[in-house]
A and B are shown apart, each in its own frame.
Chain A
Amino acid sequence: MKFTLSWLKDHLDTTASVAEIAEALTDLGLEVEGIENPGERLADFTLGYVEKAEKHPDADKLRVCMVRTDDGVQQIICGAPNAREGITVVIAKPGTYVPGIDTTIQVGKIRGVESYGMMCSEREMELSEEHDGIIELPSGTVGQRFVDWLAENDPAKVDPVIEIGITPNRQDALGVHGIARDLAARGLGTLKPLKKHDVEGQFPSPLTVTIDEDTQGEGGCHVFAGRLIRGVENRPSPQWLQDRLRAIGLRPISALVDITNFFTHDRNRPLHVFDADKVSGNLRVRRAEAGETLEGLDEKTHTFSDGQVVISDDQGIESIGGIMGGLATGCTMDTTDVFLEAAVWDRIQIAMTGRALKINSDARYRNERGIDPAYNMQAMEDATAMILDLCGGEPSSVVVAGRVPDVARAYRLDPRKVVSLVGMEIPESEQRQTLTALGFRMEGDMAHVPSWRPDVLGEADLVEEVARIASLTKLEGKPLPRLGAGVPEPVLSPMQVREQTGRRTAAALGYNECVTYSFIDHAAATLFGGGDDQTMLANPISSEMSHMRPSLLPGLLQAAARNQARGQGDLALFEVGATFSGGEPGEQGLEISGILVGRTGPKDVHGGSRPVDLFDAKADVEAILQAVGAPAKTQVLRGGDSWWHPGRHGRLCLGPKKTLAVFGELHPKVLDALDVKGPAVAFTIWPEEIPLPRKTGASRGALAISDLQAVERDFAFVVDADVQALDLVNAASGADKALIDDVRVFDEFVGGSLGAGKKSLAITVRLQPSDKTLTEKEIEAVGAKIVAKVEKATGGTLRG
């Protein structure tokens, strides 16, 4: 919402400066978004008088002028054709910044003759595009500031323009009068009452208006008033009106149209004018049928759906009620008979129709936020008076369909509640005074809401009004008491702690944390089991962000591809965040995913750099699982999702259906589709799947360690190539659970002398006696049991 200072002063008697007004507006909740003060950048320009002008000795088009200024007579070289003796001009003295040429004037020599300043054109001061010559003023005294001369003689040129942001609850501030009311309530001046006109109809209106039964009241049109004014002479608006409209960014069109725009911005009162000669028959407010069209004032054809509220005549739709008029019946300079409309429309209906038709007009903006219905009939009178004043003509009596809606309501003002909610001591008398100044009528402790405040719908709204006028800037903080004496209790849930621990462990393992978008493209989502309609956005911002991610991996892999494209090839990235299995609230789960791409590090002098492999990912996933409290023993199962390399991934499970995590190589096709150059391995952990520990105490349980010497023995077995090491290890461990402390695979050898389809797995078994040192015989006995167990479980043989 834009307005000028002089416009505001039409409604507010005030001596406050622009700065004071701006500060108050922002504090009142009408946030100032910008102030354009043309006077500010013209502050240094002063008036001068050309006493003498002679041709420049070395240039035909230049003149050497002797100009009387407040610093005495100065020599100024000027190239303007109208630079001559005896005119009053505007001077930029040395040191003055000239905005139109973006230059600060210096003393200089022009073709060898010194010049002490510049005489300016309008364009050079950004007052207009006028640049045919320098400004010649009809009045003014030497040394007078040009801004002061403008303020006296052409005030529109230096009228500051203030732009404020309007929150959806402040319909009343969509008119300058409402803004003035707020400022007056704050004490920045006195609100000037609107002049009420009463125009007597000279004849009955030949045009009548009706509202269809299904369109009356709620959801349609509450009241539609109109009047014909015949014999008007439409012409350009007077300068003051044109200046105002231009200042707030509107193009003056003609007096009739400008008057409606004036009412829109002056008092939040949209109106419409029909060229009555172009209307055939009477006006009827009705619901549109699907497919009907109208060419609007925006010169676009709008197609209606069933039920949208329109105004039609015998030819069809002529106007979109409360949103935009039609081009065919719009007023032009040739209009002689005008039909003025003032109506109150249902706000929700306006919002929905406006949104559906994608029309953002000033009328829609105001009608959907809410105008003052009680002003409807008076607006008809006031606007008629202005038309008669600017265009002449003869008014008919007013025709009305429907009724002005009754919006009277009152809420109890509880002054103690105000103080308790705001935490500021505002005396009851001040509270009542504030509400009265804002147009509320106090009756005992009941506050009757003014008709222009549809947003006030309860006691809490009264509190807000009182608080904002009292100024929240004055609010002093008051400590929020602690919940109890002593040390605050921990606040995080076990799962929240787990999430943080997982995140910091991954970073400690050398991964860089990413935060990637929750929505990804359809193709990437599909690769990872998503991309269905349930997880699709109806209005994505781009096709790259169309589906909620089913997994963190596609986002990380795409990040890897981007980094590779920038020449960063070795990557360890991870993310902790939500993934989405469906489109219903709650169909989301927490994941921790990491990827390793490229080599373990750049090639180095130690020869330690090698391509990453799945055992890197496995080590990291195990470390994170351990850190977040997963059970030490998990099963490693295959059969993971399709985006893993089918033979090179494992699920870490508690039983076949409870997968805590998965790790492995990504499927080459997936890498290819996402433009990632491999090798790439990854892991995903589902922290919510990990059971919470059963015991809650902090105690660790006793540590059992033996002083007796542990014994290690190595065994090598030849087994089929598809025998899994873990099965062999589990078999060996089971040979004597009390004695066997640890079984470790230390060598794998495939093929060679063993023949195809065979491999050798070598293990170290650590025996830890607890009561006496083991004899060689006992060791041999355990060894035999281990061999037997392993051979039975794996079908292998001890390697001789």
Chain B
Amino acid sequence: MDELRDKYIDAIANASDEAALEALRVQAVGKKGEVSLKMRELGKMTPEERQVAGPALNALKTEINAALAARKASLADAALEERLKTEWLDVTLPSRGRRIGTIHPVSQVTEEVTAIFADMGFSVAEGPQIDSDWYNFDALNIPGHHPARAEMDTFYMHRAEGDNRPPHVLRTHTSPVQIRHMEKHGAPCRIIAPGRVYRADYDQTHTPMFHQVEGLALDRDISMANLKWVLEAFFSAFFGTSVKTRFRASHFPFVEPGAEVDIQCSFEGGTVKVGEGDDWLEVLGSGMVHPSVLRAGGVDPDTYQGFAFGMGIDRIAMLKYGIPDLRAFFESDLRWLKHYGFSALEVPTLHGGL
């Protein structure tokens, strides 16, 4: 019996392929195989002999089957290995094409601004881009003859012959949204109004369309000191570093007192760094809402007061992200869009950073 075992275990281990292995299986444990034949002989044995031979034969059969399975697996492994050796790809070839989209800096920065002001309780108000001259000027304390009107480089809409209303304008600022919001919702309120504005000006630093965000906060005791705090809180969050502001007296017809606001910065080697250094950069106009403007919006100036500001979205985008040329914002050059654009999933959040 040991002889039989040695013969088959050796042969199985040396079987060269699956066919040889199958032949060995038939020869050893097939129906007419040597081991099977030996098992048939068990019946002729004495009970004593059978008690010894039976388990031995069963063990032998199990061992041979196991050896067959093991050899089969190792042959398969070898075959697979052989196949894989031939399967080689140049993985340095380029991947399958996939377009990567981008978000325009104006949209990104608008969302950043919105996220920061939302935290301070400001909601987002909207208004029409073509507006009446009343909303764009008169209601904002800029009467028809006011020099500020001439200085605004206003775009006017065509008026049909016989239509004697003053021509509508493309809003020159987002400030008309203040009036529309007050009319509809009254005071107290806190809003920002981002959007497109238009001025007939085109040169190195001006485009006939750009983006502003208006801010308006009204309550019984809101002061210019609150405005300063809000703006400093905003700029610090927006630029991700503590930013000081400087208020300078100035004049905008819709506020009183009015101030130009500078942010702290340094100019070194032709680049602007916000939040450091001793220089100042003018970024926005602001002030306390003029009583006439409150009245135009239907708000009682004896009860309510508050601040308003307007700042250029494109401008703060340029400052934050180091974008040199305003005109390129609107040229849709694919190279520019890809370079300055933002990933779709880069959603600005206060908790994730802006």
Contacts and interface: CB of A to CB of B under 8 A. Distances in A.
Contacts of B315: none
B128 interface: yes
A537 B118 contact: no
A504 B257 contact: no
Interface string B343-354: 111010000000
A388 interface: no
Interface string A508-526: 1111111111110000000
Contacts of B338: 512
A512 B288 CA distance: 40
Contacts of A538: 155-159, 167
A321 to B, nearest CB: 16
Interface string A665-684: 00000000000000000000
A534 B147 contact: no
Given A576-B107, A584-B130, A504 B345 contact: yes
A566 B128 contact: no
B251 A167 contact: yes
Interface stretch (A117-125, A435-443, A445-453, A567-575): A567-575
A283 interface: no
Interface stretch (A192-200, A471-479, A638-646, A783-791): A471-479
B122 interface: yes
B257 A369 contact: no
Nearest to B232: A477
Interface stretch (B49-57, B71-79, B96-104): B96-104
A16 interface: no
A539 interface: yes
Interface string A548-582: 10000000100100110010100111101110100
B184 interface: no
B96 A518 contact: no
B155 A480 contact: no
Nearest to A566: B333
A467 B251 CA distance: 12
A572 B107 contact: no
B84 to A, nearest CB: 22
A507 B101 contact: yes
Nearest to A590: B126
A422 B225 contact: yes
A478 to B, nearest CB: 4
A512 B331 contact: no
A424 interface: yes
Interface residues of A, number: 103
Interface stretch (B10-18, B39-47, B194-202, B263-271): B194-202
B251 A420 contact: no
Interface stretch (A220-228, A602-610, A710-718): A602-610
A458 interface: yes
Contacts, number: 282
Given A562-B333, A585-B168, A369 B147 contact: yes
Nearest to A465: B257
B146 interface: yes
With a 10 A CB-CB cut-off, give which of B97, B123, B155 has the most chain A CB atoms.
B97
A490 B128 CA distance: 23
B170 interface: yes
B305 A420 contact: yes
Given A423-B226, A513-B341, A168 B200 contact: no
Nearest to B134: A585
A26 B15 CA distance: 99
A472 B247 contact: yes
Contact of B101 (A368, A488, A511): A511
Contacts of B256: 460-461, 463-464
A513 to B, nearest CB: 4
B248 A26 contact: yes
A286 interface: no
A492 interface: yes
B128 A609 contact: no
B259 A503 contact: no
Nearest to A583: B157
A511 B224 CA distance: 43
A653 B119 CA distance: 38
A587 interface: yes
A585 B135 contact: yes
Contacts of A750: none
Nearest to B200: A541
B140 interface: no
Given A460-B256, A480-B120, A518-B198, A421 B223 contact: yes
B332 A514 contact: yes
Nearest to B199: A541
B114 to A, nearest CB: 7
B104 A514 contact: yes
B141 to A, nearest CB: 10
Contact of A507 (B102, B246, B248, B258): B102
A500 B103 CA distance: 10
B130 A580 contact: yes
A477 B225 contact: yes
A672 to B, nearest CB: 20
A34 to B, nearest CB: 15
A359 to B, nearest CB: 13
Contacts of B129: 518, 578, 580, 588
A583 B130 contact: yes
A504 B349 CA distance: 14
Contacts of A420: 221, 223, 305
B162 interface: no
Interface in B133-157: 135, 144-148, 150-151, 155-157
Interface stretch (A290-298, A329-337, A346-354): A346-354
A548 B228 contact: no
A576 B194 CA distance: 14
B242 interface: no
A368 B97 contact: no
A481 to B, nearest CB: 9
Nearest to A460: B256
B156 A467 contact: no
B181 interface: no
Given A472-B248, A515-B329, A585 B128 contact: yes
A323 to B, nearest CB: 14
Given A464-B256, A510-B101, A513-B103, A480 B330 contact: no
Nearest to B106: A515
A508 B224 contact: no
A355 interface: yes
B251 A512 contact: no
A492 to B, nearest CB: 6
A464 B251 CA distance: 9
Given A492-B124, A517-B208, A562 B332 contact: yes
A601 B124 contact: no
A571 B334 contact: yes
B251 A568 contact: no
A148 interface: no
Interface in B222-248: 222-226, 228-230, 232, 245-248
B251 A508 contact: no
Q: Which 5 A-B pairs have the closest CB atoms?
A: A423-B225, A510-B99, A423-B223, A601-B97, A468-B249
Interface of B: 93-94, 96-104, 106-107, 111, 114, 118-124, 126, 128-132, 135, 144-148, 150-151, 155-160, 167-168, 170, 190, 196, 198, 200-202, 208-209, 217, 221-226, 228-230, 232, 245-251, 253, 256-260, 288, 290-292, 305, 329-335, 337-338, 341, 343-345, 347
Interface of A: 26-29, 31, 167-170, 347-348, 351-352, 355, 368-369, 420-424, 458-461, 463-464, 467-468, 471-473, 475-480, 482-483, 488, 490-493, 496, 500, 503-519, 533-541, 545, 548, 556, 559, 562-563, 566, 568, 571-574, 576-578, 580, 583-588, 600-602, 604-606, 608-609
17 contacts: A27-B249, A421-B288, A423-B225, A464-B257, A473-B247, A478-B228, A482-B120, A504-B344, A507-B103, A507-B344, A508-B344, A510-B98, A514-B104, A518-B170, A559-B331, A562-B331, A608-B96
